[in-house]
Structure 1
Amino acid sequence: MTDLTGLNDEEFVGFEHNAYQENMHLLATVSLWLIIVAGVACGLFGFFWGLAH
């Protein structure tokens, strides 16, 4: 870890991205979309099932 106290805003180029961070971001994105799709599917199923009964 480098010391950032001597750097100003123009010199700071950002933190490096590593494979672990990218993989966890991908996992979080996939999980989020699975939850959204499952929720919408269950909601539509319940709606049409309710109309049929």
Structure 2
Amino acid sequence: MSDRIGPRMWPSRAEWAAAAEHYVGTLCEPLQRVPEGAAHYLTAAECTEMDEL
């Protein structure tokens, strides 16, 4: 598409990803953010089983 006329009207994938990362990291309420670590997603028994591996 070398004959494109005018500026691009939508963001590139990299621009879109950066904007999404900024939104999630700064504009969401703290309680809406995804917690890190397996302990937030696994039961105590599952965490114990993972530690034994």
Give TM-score scaled by structure 2 length. Answer: 0.34
Q: Which has the larger radius of gyration?
A: 1
Give the structure with the larger helix fraction.
1
Ranked by relative contact order (alpha carbons within 8 Å, sequence separation 6 or more), the top structure is 2
Give TM-score scaled by structure 1 length. Answer: 0.34
